A = this chain, B = another copy of it.
């Protein structure tokens, strides 16, 4: 289970470099080149650590940072600010907004890696984001347990990941392709019909006392988690 690092940075060359470097360290990496998108994607993907450019075209990195730190759900994600300016004022402002560390461009890859490792090591073992509830469903990512009405339910690994993904954005409809990409992985070839089968297995598992269906089929579009 590699740590997932999110990069918000508008210089393509830096992204490329970072991505190469971090993936070599076997982190899972995703990125985004502007602030609005970054905020959205971070809330969606909930990475383990964020590398954030101090300046971003539309919504500045500082703003994104502030926004995240205000939200209980996301303020535990450590953030490293990437800043081109060496001035002290900026550094302090980075910390003030809630950043956990910063590096000044151009930075040493090795040093960055060390800082990342240090932050990941220190990040809280349990945080509110690890236990997510939706209606009578509860999923604990730390203990890998799932409950319905406080009754534990046993799920296979794929079904767990599937539910975990759905619960991040309940009510949102995902196509089979989206589910394959997010639950199975990006470069894996699996039949789209396979999703149906796992949806069935998940349904079967969470439909303890034939209450509400919870997983909705949207014909010719996909599936969603409903209350």
Contacts and interface: CB of A to CB of B under 8 A. Distances in A.
Specify how many copies of this chain sit in the oligomer.
2
A187 interface: no
Contact of A114 (B91, B118, B124, B169): B91
A129 to B, nearest CB: 14
Contact of A92 (B1, B111, B173, B224): B111
Interface in A139-161: 142-144, 156-157
Contacts of A178: 1
A175 B91 CA distance: 36
Given A114-B95, A115-B95, A224 B122 contact: no
Contacts of A126: 169, 172
A56 to B, nearest CB: 22
A88 interface: yes
A222 to B, nearest CB: 8
A123 B118 CA distance: 11
Interface string A60-72: 0000000000000
Interface in A98-118: 99-101, 108, 110-111, 114-115, 117-118
Contacts of A110: 88, 92
Which range contains the number of A residues in contact with the other chain? 35 or more
Given A118-B95, A122-B122, A173 B143 contact: yes
B95 A157 contact: no
Interface in A164-203: 169, 171-173, 175, 177-178
A95 B115 CA distance: 8
Given A1-B175, A126-B169, 8 more contacts: A88-B111, A95-B114, A95-B117, A122-B123, A124-B125, A125-B169, A142-B172, A144-B218
3 A-B pairs closest in CB distance: A95-B114, A157-B220, A144-B173
18 contacts: A1-B177, A1-B221, A88-B108, A88-B111, A92-B111, A95-B111, A95-B117, A101-B115, A122-B123, A122-B124, A124-B125, A125-B169, A142-B173, A143-B173, A143-B224, A144-B173, A157-B219, A157-B221
